[in-house]
Amino acid sequence: MLLVFDIGNSNIVMGTYEGKKLLRHWRISTDRQKTGDEYGMLINNLFAYQNIRMEQVRSIIISSVVPPLMVPMIKMCERYFHIHPLVVGPGIKTGFRISYENPREIGADRIVNVAGAFEQYGGPLIVIDIGTATTFDVVAPNGDFLGGVIAPGLSSSADALFQRAARLPRIELVTPKRIISRNTVSGMQAGIIYGYVGQIDEIVRRMKKEMGYDEIKVIATGGYARMVSRESKTIDKIDHFLTLTGLRVLYERNAE
């Protein structure tokens, strides 16, 4: 059994695979203060609830954009699973070329998303990961990573508005019923969400024009993908397990 970890700024998403089949998946909060032992006991409890034994895990791969958590997570894998994990980073075999001035600058999550998206949908592609930050990654017809865009995420934008404007409240991110709002909360929701959708659609339109291809699939993933895609005119498909798929693909390419 393969265990995969995607460590994001807000959440850690985990999954177990038998071959290409995703058996179980979990989402927990990212806590930079937790020790390896605390994560080990938490994972042990999640496994026990699903009747999974930790010794069933034979391999582990980790992708992380939170550097302080890498040491405790690696120690956790070694202590509780007796496995040294494969870590997505410089030196890993991706199976595609990266057209970036400094490939070491690219977040591991973006590499994983490109690998998972091309495996499932082919190319050309635009992959949008809507999380704490929002990334747009462009994939060539042959699977090569051509570059992309990084923008603030929905929750980051909402938090910035709350923190910088003294009289504006912290709000729940839900789509309001109308664009012309009659109270502060729905006005903030409309401005953030519809403004965010407009940003996504405009970036995608400009990317398509610059790429010059007739048909380009646009795949969205991340915590806010479903809400945004309902309003977007450019997103073709939501794939909530895209990152987990990419981790499996990268493990397979490096286990050969």
Q: Are strands 125-130 and 86-87 parallel, antiparallel or unpaired?
A: unpaired
Query: Of all helices (H) and strands (E), which one includes residue 16?
Result: strand 11-18
What residue numbers does the annotated binding site for ATP cover? 6-13, 132
| 144 is an active site residue | no
Among candidate residues 1, 2, 28, 5, the one with its CA nearest the CA of residue 76 = 5
Q: Which residues are annotated as a binding site for substrate?
A: 100, 107-110, 184
What secondary structure does DSSP assign to 129-181, as a single string? EESSEEEEEEE-TTS-EEEEEEEE-HHHHHHHHHHHSTTPPP------S-SS-
Residues annotated within the binding site for K(+) are 129
Which residue in 31, 109, 236, 239 is the catalytic one?
Answer: 109
Backbone angles phi, psi at 52, to 5 degrees: -110, 135
Binding residue ranges:
6-13, 100, 107-110, 129, 132, 184
Q: Give the residue numbers annotated as catalytic, written as ranges.
A: 109
